[in-house]
Amino acid sequence: MGSFVLRKVGAALIVLFLSSILVFLGVRALPGDPAIALGGENRDPAVLAQIRHDYGLDRPVPIQYVHWIGHALRGDLGTDSRGLSVAHTIVVKLPITLELASLSVLLGVLIGIPVGIISAVRRGKLSDYTSTTTALVALSVPHFWLGLMMILVFAVNLHWLPAGDYVSVSHPLQNLRHMLMPAIVLGTGLAAVLARQMRSAMLESLGTDYIRTARAKGLSEWSVVCKHALRNSLITVTTVIGLQLGALISGAVITEAIFSIAGFGRLTVESIQQRDYALIQGIVLVAASGYVLVNLAVDLAYSFLNPRIRVAGSRA
């Protein structure tokens, strides 16, 4: 037991370490002198040299790395080019993107699951045909284009919904109004995948012997569908979401750009474009760490539930 945990934690630490080095070197591979980025219109060489010194950019790279990672482990990710704390900026912005992702997931589930169930139950009929085709079309639509079209129709022409910006959750109604279109944009693709997966999972299980027996025994069609719908939903939803979380974050970047939401995704793109080293490093480190740690937690938790995995050892 102990050795298993140790091995898993060790693996996670290795990945974290490699990721942090990749981030660090990747950021330094960006062309363009960051001192100039921090310099604005003024390119006086004495000022630039001073900037380099203040940000430690004139020290050897390994030393810069050690310095950075040492502080990072203590929760200090440094300050960005505006003099604001990187850690604070991330803590403020990350929940916004996570909220967007969660709302999108919610929408995707609320739309995708029922559609998938209905099209499985009414297989071959018109409603099945239309829903599967709609799902496929939804998968083929670039979400940023969908966003642009929605802004055009609902914000610019109809004035029903705001064109963007984020209102804090402390004003829940306004917050939801602003998040509605972005969540729809991001959630559509997820809904489509869920609908398709749900449908095929339902079809598979509805065709099994177990069901035939249940029907033969006289159980109502409704209870058969319900029981199976419930069970398949949970499995399908969690599977798909688990796989799509990364894609969701990627999609959030564009959605945030179009709807002018100052979230984590957009922060990342802007910081890269502005060569804000400290910010880029902090952001990507947090994102990578989050992913790795969640996976680790899940691995460990699962091993407690199923001792057989511990013995087998290797990843499935």
Q: Which of residues 91-120 bind other proteins (CB under 8 A)?
A: 91-96, 98-99, 101-102
The window from 114-122, 212-220, 225-233, 249-257 that contacts other proteins (CB under 8 A) reads 249-257
CA 226, CA 268: separation in Å to the nearest integer?
43
**Per-residue tokens: 6:** 């140790």
Minimum Å gap between C-beta 218 and other proteins is: 26
In the list 254, 277, 278, 282, the residue contacting other proteins (rule: CB under 8 A) is: 254
In the complex with other proteins, the residue whose CB is nearer, 117 or 283, is 283
Question: Of the ranges 59-67, 114-122, 189-197, 216-224, which one interacts with other proteins (CB under 8 A)?
Answer: 189-197
Which region among 14-22, 62-70, 211-219, 225-233 touches other proteins (by CB under 8 A)?
14-22
Cβ at position 216, least distance to other proteins in Å? 20
List binders of other proteins among 219-248 (CB under 8 A). 234-235, 237-247
Q: Does 288 bind other proteins (CB under 8 A)?
A: yes
- For the bound state, the minimum distance from the C-beta of residue 57 to other proteins, rounded and expressed in Å, comes to 13
CA separation for the pair 254, 271 (Å, rounded): 15
| Distance between CA atoms of residues 196 and 240, nearest Å | 11
Nearest to 193 by CA among 253, 138, 129, 154: 138
Shortest distance, position 214 Cβ to other proteins, whole Å = 20
Question: How far, in Å, CA of 99 to CA of 82, rounded?
Answer: 26
Q: Identify the H or E element spanning 200.
A: helix 172-206
The candidate with the shortest Cα–Cα distance to 225, out of 209, 210, 211, 238, is 211
Q: Token match 């040299």: residue?
A: 49
Q: Which stretch binds other proteins (CB under 8 A): 56-64, 65-73, 208-216, 294-302?
A: 294-302
140, with CB counted inside 10 A (0-12, 13-18, 19+), is exposed
Which lies closer to other proteins via its Cβ, residue 223 or residue 246? 246
Q: By CB under 8 A, what part of segment 151-170 binds other proteins?
A: 151-152, 155-156, 159, 162-166, 168-170
Q: Which is nearer to other proteins, 230 or 243 (CB)?
A: 243
The footprint of other proteins on residues 28-67 (CB under 8 A) is 29-34, 36-47, 50-51, 54
Is there a contact between 177 and 92 (Cβ–Cβ < 8 Å)?
A: no
Q: How far apart are CA 52 and CA 34, in angstroms?
A: 8
Closest approach, Cβ 107 to other proteins, in A, equals 14
Residue 18 in tokens? 């490699």
- Nearer Cβ to other proteins (64/85): 85
DSSP code string of 33-68: -HHHHTTTT---HHHHHHHHHHTTTTS-HHHHHHHH
Instruction: Pick one of 61, 226, 230, 294: the residue that binds other proteins (CB under 8 A).
Output: 294
Separation of alpha carbons 67 and 128, rounded Å:
59
User: Distance between CA 190 and CA 184 in Å, rounded?
Assistant: 10
Considering only the stretches 57-65, 215-223, 224-232, 273-281, report the one whose residues sit in contact with other proteins under the rule CB under 8 A: 273-281
Under the binding rule (CB under 8 A), the answer on residue 211 touching other proteins is no
Give 207 or 220: the residue with its C-beta nearer to other proteins: 207
Nearer to other proteins, 61 or 137 (CB): 137
CB 99 within 8 Å of CB 169: yes
